[in-house]
Every structure is written in structure tokens, then in C-alpha cells.
Homo-oligomer: A and B are copies of this chain.
Amino acid sequence: MCAQHTFQVRLASRPDGMPARTHWDMGWNDINGPSDGEVLVETAFISIDPAMRGWLRDAKSYLPPVAIGAVMRAGGVGTVIASKHPDFREGEQVVGHTGVQSHALVPGDTLRKVNDTVAPLPTFLGPLGIPGLTAYFGMTEVGAVKPGDTVLVSAAAGAVGSIAGQIAGIRGAGRVVGIAGSNEKCRHLVEDLGCDAAINYKTEALGERIREHCPEGLDVYFDNVGGDILDAALAHLRIGARVVLCGAISQYNDLEAVRGPKNYLSLLVKRARMQGFIVSDYAEQYQSAVEEIGGWLAAGTLSYRTTIVPGLETFPETFQRLFTGEKLGKLLIQVV
């Protein structure tokens, strides 16, 4: 047991709308450990994810809410600096729920070893981490993408959407169209990520563009955003379509006022399904999925971007970028 200085971001109060700086307490504290079974990790990168917004709500979900005064929950990668778990030794690199802090005591059983000689560390929070697995199972299992399918992805330049669209292409989709919120992102989708077309939802008439780019309608719509974009997609389903509910970032800051998708009756006329999923339901298949994604990365058929912001103290503003869209690909904080 030894005391370790750690810089922590703790939840000060529950936000009603957009989380602001006032909702967080930040500062240095001492932690004591590791205890038996624990590992002390010096974090290198912290993952900033839409799911974190859900954990701030005082409501039952698949994980309990973050308590007031607790370190904010987050995924992270880093290096073991002390271990009382038989599987981990000083100097090894790991990924897990470290929380938003510079040093973390983590139960060893919840950590997974990674290696920056295989891929840069941020990759294990991106395509080889939860976002990549979410895209993989969402597109292949829930979306059940088939060769020839017409696929539409929202937030297509984001951490999950950018991988989901590319996986659709790799699996033989006939047409992949991405939706994003800037012309720069749209160029990136077509030039770097292999989308057949991209739509800037902020400046273009979404329904018309979907009709133009997908004249036969959508076989798969991979939804990361909810709201008006979900409605526009529902209006263009093909018979037997699959709508993958992966997230609803446009709705997370005001769940009391969620707008239901008024075009949901398309599901009836088009004999379509809309299905939600949680990536952890597929935990038993993680290993084989990671191997397949790793193969695509190595072969260069899958590419990805990261937006890395230095400094844990930027957390309040960096977190907001999930909702304002000021980022490309996976959003991370570099700890030091």
C-alpha cells in the first residue's frame, strides 16, 4: 500500500441539459493502493463517449449512475505502475474503466492487456475498443448487413459511425451513404472512408438527399443520433429494412423532451424492424471480432481518425464536443 497523487474529475452535481464546467470538481487527491486484486494504472488516454451522458442521470440503466462526488466513469488506456493482481505486472499496458483521472485503482479482473507495438494506444479505445466493437456488432448482427445492401449511417464521421460505415462496405454493401454535420466531415467520408456519398444534415435537405442517393430506399439505417435524422431515414426504408438503434446523441441532454420518431409507422408498411443493442451483450464474441477488425486495420481496408485533446483539466469542454460535433472520429483526452 502506498499513497499516490492523482488528478481527478469528479461529478459535483447532475446536469439537466448540456453538462457545464460547474457540474464538475477537479483537483489532485491521494489514493491508497493497490489492495489485493487491484492494479494501479497511470492513464495515458481517456475515452470521451456519448454513453457517459447517460451515466450522469439518476435513473436505472444498464449501469448505475455515477454518484455525486465520485470520479467520473470512463474508459482509459495506460500503464501498470503497481499490481496486486497475479495477471498484471508493472510496465504492462492495459485498457479498462479507469475513470477520468491520471492514476486509477482498478480491479484487475476488469482490465485487458494491450500493446502499443500492435497498434497505437488510442486504437484500443477506438476501432479495437468499445466503439469498434459497437460498430461491428451493430452493423453485422443487429443490422445484419448483406452484400448489395443500401446502408445509411448517421454521425458517420464519429467514433462508431466511421467504423460502421466501413464495415458495411467491407461486408459488400452496394451503397454506403454517411450523414455528418460539416462539409469537411462529408469530404472525409467520401475521400477517406469510402462512402459513396455524404450528406451535410446542417445545410442540405436531408430527405431529398436520401431519396437522391438511395433511390431504392434503405436496407440498413445505423442510427447514432435520433431526432429528425432518424425520422428522415424512417421515411425511406425499403421492405425488410433494419434500423439499428446505437445511440441518440441529439436527445441525451433533454430526455424529458425526447421526440418520438413520428415516421415509425414506416416499420409497419415496410415490414421493417428497429432494434436497440448494448455491445456488452456480445462480450463472448469480442475476441474474434477484435481479431477481424485488427486484420482490416493491418490490411489497410479500415481506417480511422482520432481527435486528441491534451489535458484532463479540459474535460468539461472536451465532453461538450460530443454534442456540438466539433471533432472527427474518436474523441480522447491525452492525460499528460
Q: Please, what's the 1-or-0 string for A263-286, where 1 marks a CB less than 8 Å from any CB in chain B? A: 111111111111111100100000
A117 within 8 A of B: no
Which chain B residues lie closer than 8 Å to A270 at the CB level?
276
A54 CA to B209 CA, complexed, in Å: 27
A96 within 8 A of B: no
Q: Is the CB of B281 within 8 A of A271?
A: yes
Q: Is the CB of A231 within 8 A of B248?
A: no
A274-B267 contact, Cβ under 8 Å, with A231-B260, A260-B259, A260-B260 = yes
Which chain B residues lie closer than 8 Å to A274 at the CB level?
264, 267, 273-275
Q: Please, what's the 1-or-0 string for A161-183, where 1 marks a CB less than 8 Å from any CB in chain B? A: 00000000000000000000000
Which chain B residues lie closer than 8 Å to A245 at the CB level?
264-265, 267-268
Q: Is the CB of A226 within 8 A of B271?
A: no
A287 within 8 A of B: no
Q: Is the CB of B265 within 8 A of A269?
A: no
Beyond the given pairs A245-B264, A245-B267, A265-B276, 15 more chain A to chain B contacts, judged by CB atoms under 8 angstroms and listed by A's residue number, are A245-B265, A248-B265, A255-B265, A258-B264, A258-B265, A259-B262, A260-B260, A260-B264, A261-B264, A264-B264, A267-B274, A271-B276, A271-B278, A273-B275, A274-B275
Using CB atoms and an 8 Å cutoff, list the residues of chain A in contact with chain B: 61-62, 226, 231, 245-248, 251, 255, 258-278, 281
Sort A-B residue pairs by CB-CB distance and give the 6 closest, nearest first. A260-B260, A268-B276, A273-B275, A267-B276, A260-B262, A260-B261
